[in-house]
Amino acid sequence: MSIYTKTLAAALCLAAFEIEAVPAQSPALVCSKDKYNSYSCDKPQFLKIFKDARIVSVETHPYNQIAAKALEDLARELGKSAQSGSADLTFVLEPANPDAIYFGPNDRELASLRVFSSGPKGGRGQLIWVETLIGQPNLPWLMVVHGVIQQFKAEFK
């Protein structure tokens, strides 16, 4: 059987079952988590995706108007349109786990700003950036939100 016959047979099988061919190479992960639950993200890949994005969706905890307004302002400042629903990127700002147990007066994670690409059906896609704010746990939430956003902006000046 020739290679052309095998290729034609495979294409007919896919068509018969209405299956789409999947590319042999999947996109590389932009962010990955290490064994210590810390994220490592590919900055050049993030910048490429971010540059092409036009519309940003914002997600925060319910009733967290401080964070929602700050993220909408950030999106506009970065030249993106902020809207609810499906978007090119989703900005998610969350406080750190309040149930975690900490020992000592050391700085700890206060919040994280996560950026997701667009996924299937307009939902969240792949995690493409994580900005984590580390500091003293007694900071007011307004200061935490401001701090993580300033840190994010400073990363990409």
Say what the pLDDT of residue 103 is.
Answer: 60
Tell me whether strands 55-59 and 124-135 are parallel, antiparallel or unpaired.
Answer: unpaired
Amino acid in the structure at residue 117: S
Determine the Cα–Cα distance for residues 18 and 107; give it in Å rounded to an integer. Answer: 54
3-state DSSP call for residue 122? helix
Tell which residue, 106, 15, 89, has the closest CA to residue 52: 89
Number of Cβ within a 10 Å radius of residue 152: 20
User: How buried is residue 22: exposed, middle or buried, by Cβ count under 10 Å (0-12/13-18/19+)?
Assistant: exposed
Which segments in the chain show pLDDT lower than 70?
1-29, 98-105
Domains observed in the chain: 27-155 (3.30.160)
User: Which structure tokens are listed for 129?
Assistant: 């950036």
Model confidence, pTM:
0.75
Amino acid in the structure at residue 85: G
pLDDT digits (tens, 9 = 90+) for 85-125: 889 999 999 998 766 666 666 788 899 999 999 988 777 89
User: How buried is residue 155: exposed, middle or buried, by Cβ count under 10 Å (0-12/13-18/19+)?
Assistant: exposed
